[in-house]
A and B are shown apart, each in its own frame.
Chain A
Amino acid sequence: DIVMSQSPDSLAVSLGERATINCKSSQSVLNSSNNKNSLAWFQQKPGQPPKLLVYWASTRESGVPDRFSGSGSGTDFTLTISSLQAEDVAAYYCYQFYSIPNTFGQGTKLEIK
């Protein structure tokens, strides 16, 4: 199984500042058939289902604000929020859909400093 490890587990950032969440996979999730990384990022607010933010590691889902961006390849990935807004307080999860079983990172809790 591919193990997804996120860092940090929690993060406090001031409004308007940059937030960076890292995700490392135990093996590459680069899909050779399409040369894309099978990696997605989700945001989950309390009492709500997760919401897809980014897929193929760097493609922003329709309707997601452009302050959210994903980067990385192979085994190392990053979700960046360029200017933190109050509504971004949530838990964030990375997820690999390269191999079965699909697996999630343990989550990163983002708060306002």
Chain B
Amino acid sequence: EVHLVESGGGLAQPGGSLRLSCAASTFTFSSYWMSWVRQAPGKGLEWVANIKEDGSEKYYVDSVKGRFTISRDNAKNSLYLQMNSLRAEDTAVYYCARSVAGLDYWGQGTLVTVSS
């Protein structure tokens, strides 16, 4: 069974930074695109970013371009999301997901709260 575990969430001030991590196990991490998806409290799902198997291609939703950076370390089976210049509207549960014909496996998510 594919296992994805997010960490790094918490409380950040507006304008602050956080780095999310997603630890992958029980599959060949380096063979898959990976994505971040977020869900604001009581709201729907929003795709945030994805990254190619080797990290050579990265794509973002417009609302986070220039502020968030997706990256991966295939040697550590880990996915990251560096979030800078955080805004109140970035408050959400952030999920990492394996990108196969959609998003076939998801982690449990990590909550990011941006508030002063």
Contact = CB atoms under 8 A, between A and B. Distances in A.
B75 to A, nearest CB: 26
Interface in B5-61: 35, 37, 44-47, 50, 59-61
Interface residues of B, number: 22
Contact of B102 (A1, A55, A100): A55
A52 B47 contact: no
B59 A101 contact: yes
A106 B62 CA distance: 18
Given A93-B44, A101-B47, A49 B62 contact: no
Interface of B: 35, 37, 44-47, 50, 59-62, 95, 99, 101-109
A16 B88 CA distance: 43
B104 A95 contact: no
Sort A-B residue pairs by CB-CB distance and give the 4 closest, nearest first.
A40-B102, A49-B106, A55-B101, A102-B47
